[in-house]
Structure 1
Amino acid sequence: AFILGFLIVVAGGALTLFGLRASALRSDTGFKPVSREAFLLGNNLILLTATSVVLMGTLFPLIGEALDMKISIRSPYFNGFFVPLAFVLILLMVPGMFSNWKRQDGNTLLKRMALLAPAAIIAGWFGSRLPDPSPWQGVLAIMLALFLVFAHVDDVVRRARAYKQGFVTGLGKLGRGYWGMVLAHCGLAVLIAGITLVSFHEVERDIRMAPGDTAELGHYTFVFDSLDEYRGPNFDSTRGHFHVSHDGDPVAVMHPEKRTYHASRQVMTEAAIDAGFWRDLYVALGEPLDDSNAWAVRIYFKPGIRWIWLGALIMALGGALALTDKRYRRNRFAANDAGAANES
């Protein structure tokens, strides 16, 4: 119900704003099939499709629950849609950034994109030669993300060099709206890289462990040292102590818990997390297995998980930076002044 209410507020609010400003968005000017407008339209259709996928995946279980039917939407549903959609999104985003408004020469556009493609292909090849290589889908995703970043570097350099005052002066004159676009698109590249890493290189194990046992996972060694009882402010806890090392070097001491809350007697699993820029480690206690003090333990190695949050943050910062561009406020004030003059 909370998610449904959130969707109603967000989608309903956006549609309300669109309805109130629809008259100001009308335009009789056209554009060619190869132009910035055409690529932006394609990107908007891709994003609309992705939004519809999320909406259906969110509503179907709620509708099924209302009809006394159990419908479970799991990650394969979202991955099956979002992976090809993300590929098409980047393939449309780069030529859209390079294109002119209204009309763009197709041969010039292809030549400019062809100059950047080898760099992304070489970077993707190196990625496929790593000790833990990705499947072809992962390599393709990394190549597209790097292609997006290289395209923006090339575009920034070209635009800055176009100013006669010099390269550094040109960088300062590009405008906040442009830098906001660059940040948002690079944030998308970081997001895709993070999703690719965690999707194709995540490792997890469900194992039986007792104090003194050792488990190996993703070049990390987890040692189950001991268990103790801990009393919290409103719960009783069985807490484990795990020492984690990487190639013999100590990394972290982790304390997963199994909590029983006093008020409801509800048992909750509190996973221990060791967060890092390149990877996150998780340890969770399951259930006791027998009288030998052994437990079901789940351990995770999740590379790049922080990149997903970092990419979303960079995209949000890019949007906020673009909103502060003075050109948009000047255009709005000029339109208001023109409307007032016409009325007078």
Structure 2
Amino acid sequence: MDLLSDILDSLALQGQFYFRTCFNSPWAIGVPNYASAIRFHYAVQGECYVRAGEDEPIRLRQGDLVLIPAGGAHALSDTPERRPVGLETVMQDNGYTGTGTFIVGEGCERAATQLMCGHFTFAEGSNHPLLRSLPKVIHLSAGMRSAAFWLDEALRLMARQMTDENPGSLAVVRRMSEIIFIETIRACSAQSEQLSGLMEALADPKISRAIQAMHHDIATQWTVETLAGEAAMSRSRFAARFQELVGCGPLTYLAEWRLQKACALLREGRISVQEVAGRIGYQSPAAFTRAFTNMFGETPTAFRHRLAA
């Protein structure tokens, strides 16, 4: 089992492309918070600065990619000192309707800053150590891309498709953006100790066997002892190593994973809440409802009805 693919499939990763920019100095744009998304900006031409919160600005050069996990508010600008104007205001002032190139200012297109902007989303209720381990900002330089062949090729293809007016070009960009997210967290895992640990866990020949067992047989009444047996490790060593790499204990991971799978089953709407409870390993619907409500703040039935409304 490919664990990373299984995680992202369960969390329903989707890429969304907003627009291509053509920004001519002077310009500075404030991008609002969007908590349920991971925003991205790819510098196709020129350069700019990205500032998240009160952090020092990051210089985004041609070929660089930046991700803003948790959809945090941030600013894009031609100089680090320029004060940003809200995105909606800039779009209205420049007559951008949501289609075509987002143009700001006047000047030579060859000298303008051209960005590809979009976001990644996950299904409502998504809560996994992978998402919690992402740093505030992920910056992938053009130099780092040279060591990540598939990521480099995907970015180049997405940039070419950006100006392609053939049918389906936008769908290609969306699919490529999902590949880019996966390859980016692989290439940039060193930027977060938590992410680095999790990626190591998914590749570790022992710890990964225990995670695979939980994913494959989610309804099994696993204990730390039985999971340690899957990993061919002592109970104490397994528990300590799992906590070190994943950031939580094995049974906490299992409980959270069960509820993530429950969300997916509830979204599909094909089986009853009672059947969902049994399929993910709860011995009673009442226990499942309590656990689900504690994590998501509403009952499984309310969650399903709200999504169906």
Q: TM-score, normalised by structure 2?
A: 0.26
Task: Give the number of the structure whose alpha-carbon radius of gyration is greater.
Answer: 1
- Higher helix content, 1 or 2: 1
State the TM-score, normalizing by the size of structure 1. Answer: 0.24
